[in-house]
Structure 1
Amino acid sequence: MKHMPKHRDLPDITLSLLFICLMSIMCLWILKPFIISFTWGSMIVITTWPLFLKIQRVLWKKRLLAVLVMALTLILVFIIPIILLINSVIKNSSLLMIWLNTRHFESPQLYWLNTIPIIGQKFYLYYHDLVDASGKTLLAQLQPYAGRTTSFVLSQAKHLGRFMIHLGLMLTSSVCLYWYGDKIGENIQCFAVTVSPKYGQSVLVLGIQAIRAVSCAIVITGCAQGLLGGIGLSISGVPFATILTVVMIFSCLVQLGSLIVLIPAIIWLYWTGDNTGGTVLLIWSVLLSALETVMRSFLIKKGIDLPIILILVGIIGGLLSFGMIGLFIGPVVLSVSYRFILSWIKKYPIFYDNDNILIDQSKMKK
Structure 2
Amino acid sequence: MVPTSLSLKALSRGMLDVLIRAGLIVVLVLFCFEIFRPFRDLMLWSVILAITLYPLQERLMGPLGQKEGRAATVIVLVAIAILMVPIYLLGVSIADSVESAMAAVKSEGIQIPPPSDAVAQWPLIGKPLSALWLQASTDLPGLTAKYIPQIKDVSLGLLGKLAGVGMGFLMFIIALIIAGIFMAYGKAGSNAAVRIASRISGPDKGPQIATLCTATIRAVALGVVGIAFIQMLLVGLGFVFKGVPGAGLLALAVLLLGIMQLPATLITVPVIAYVLATEGANTTTIIFSVFVFVAGLVDNVLKPLLLGRGVDVPMPVVLIGALGGMVTSGILGLFIGPVVLAVGYQLFWQWVEDRPPVEDEY
TM-score, normalised to structure 2, is 0.68
What is the identity, as a one-letter code, of the residue corresponding to 1:334?
A: Y
1:181 is matched with 186
> Cα distance 1:346–1:11, how it changes in 2: closer, same or farther (>3 A)?
closer
Return the offset for 1:98. Answer: 3.5
What is the identity, as a one-letter code, of the residue corresponding to 1:329?
A: V
- The worse-fitting range, judged by mean Cα deviation, of 57-66 and 312-321 is 312-321
How many angstroms apart in 1 are the aligned matches of 2:307 and 2:341?
14
Instruction: Answer whether contact 1:45 1:174 (CA < 8 A) is retained.
Output: yes
Instruction: Answer whether contact 1:213 1:300 (CA < 8 A) is retained.
Output: yes
How many angstroms apart in 1 are the aligned matches of 2:124 and 2:89?
48
Name which of 204, 214, 224 aligns with 2:220.
214
Name which of 338, 341, 361 aligns with 2:352.
341
How many angstroms apart in 1 are the aligned matches of 2:357 and 2:303?
26
How many angstroms apart in 2 are the aligned matches of 1:225 and 1:112?
37
Is residue 224 of structure 1 aligned with residue 212 of structure 2?
no
Return 5+ residue gaps in structure 1 as ranges. 278-283, 348-366
Name which of 334, 339, 343 aligns with 1:328.
339
2:287 is matched with none
1:28 is matched with 33
Return the offset for 1:157. Answer: 6.8
Name which of 71, 80, 83 aligns with 1:75.
80
Find the residue that maps to 2:354 and give its secondary structure. helix
What is the identity, as a one-letter code, of the residue corresponding to 1:240?
A: P
> Cα distance 1:77–1:212, how it changes in 2: closer, same or farther (>3 A)?
same
1:1-366 matches, within 5 Å, as: 9-79=14-84, 81-90=86-95, 93-95=98-100, 97-98=102-103, 105-107=111-113, 109=115, 127-132=129-134, 138-147=143-152, 151-152=156-157, 155=160, 159=164, 162-163=167-168, 165-197=170-202, 198-217=204-223, 218-224=225-231, 227=234, 239-240=244-245, 242-252=247-257, 262=267, 298=304, 301-306=307-312, 311-323=314-326, 324=334, 325-344=336-355
How far does the alpha carbon of each residue in 1:315-349 deviate from its partner, in whole angstroms, 9 at most, with x for none?
133234443222011111112222332332998xx
How many angstroms apart in 1 are the aligned matches of 2:179 and 2:85?
17
How many residues get paired?
A: 322
Return the offset for 1:160. Answer: 5.3
Return the offset for 1:247. Answer: 3.3
What is the identity, as a one-letter code, of the residue corresponding to 1:20?
A: I
Return the offset for 1:125. Answer: 5.9
Return the offset for 1:242. Answer: 4.0
How many angstroms apart in 2 are the aligned matches of 1:79 and 1:311?
32
- The worse-fitting range, judged by mean Cα deviation, of 16-25 and 327-336 is 16-25
> Cα distance 1:109–1:223, how it changes in 2: closer, same or farther (>3 A)?
farther
What is the identity, as a one-letter code, of the residue corresponding to 1:30?
A: I
Instruction: Answer whether contact 1:207 1:332 (CA < 8 A) is retained.
Output: yes
What is the identity, as a one-letter code, of the residue corresponding to 1:208?
A: T
How many angstroms apart in 2 are the aligned matches of 1:167 and 1:43?
12
Instruction: Answer whether contact 1:223 1:253 (CA < 8 A) is retained.
Output: no
> Cα distance 1:53–1:134, how it changes in 2: closer, same or farther (>3 A)?
closer
Find the residue that maps to 2:355 and give its secondary structure. helix
Return the offset for 1:43. Answer: 0.9
What is the identity, as a one-letter code, of the residue corresponding to 1:247?
A: L
How far does the alpha carbon of each residue in 1:239-283 deviate from its partner, in whole angstroms, 9 at most, with x for none?
4264445434554577597889949x78x97xxx98x99xxxxxx
